């Protein structure tokens, strides 16, 4: 996917400009919502100026960036997906009475963690102070 820096910018709702990598073609990105360009100084300069001079496109890119970030960049989902990949590794034999939770189960938020989330405008989640400190409320 996009670099972490681009993902963070998009999460803030900033217009995104990234190098036109072949790998991005499979993601179905809207070319009006994210500028994929050649990383050449003059191309970068002209792209920045075009976006800044077009308030409608800038506004659309802001909205698209935020929408894409909310739609595709989720820390819990990403962590659980990555952890579940370790579950495909053959298990080490365990005693019959011991059950070890798999990685996805260990990373999944607890019910109290799910409750300790404030919803910000646009649907973004922000952990509450209780979640950050490990408290229940």
Residues of the chain with pLDDT under 50: 119-124, 126-134, 136-137
Q: CA–CA separation, 56 vs 64, rounded Å?
A: 12
pLDDT at position 99: 63
pLDDT value at residue 110: 64
Q: Which residues contact 6 (CB under 8 A, 6 or more apart)?
A: 16, 18
- Taking the domains of the chain in order of start, what are their residue ranges? 4-72, 75-86+101-133
DSSP assignment of 104-121:
HHHHSPPHHHHHSEEEPG
């Amino acid at each position: 996917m996009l670099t972490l820096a681009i993902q963070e910018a998009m999460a803030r709702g900033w217009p995104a400009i990234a190098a036109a990598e072949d790998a991005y073609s499979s993601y179905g990105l809207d070319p009006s919502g994210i500028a994929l360009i050649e990383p050449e100084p003059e191309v970068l300069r002209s792209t920045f100026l075009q976006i800044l001079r077009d308030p409608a496109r800038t506004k659309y890119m802001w909205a698209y960036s935020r929408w894409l970030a909310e739609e595709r960049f989720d820390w819990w989902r990403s962590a659980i997906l990555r952890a579940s990949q370790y579950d495909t590794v053959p298990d080490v034999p365990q005693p019959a009475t011991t059950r070890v939770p798999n990685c996805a189960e260990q990373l999944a938020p607890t019910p109290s963690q799910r409750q300790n989330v404030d919803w910000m405008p646009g649907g973004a989640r922000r952990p509450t102070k209780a979640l950050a400190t490990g408290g229940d409320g």
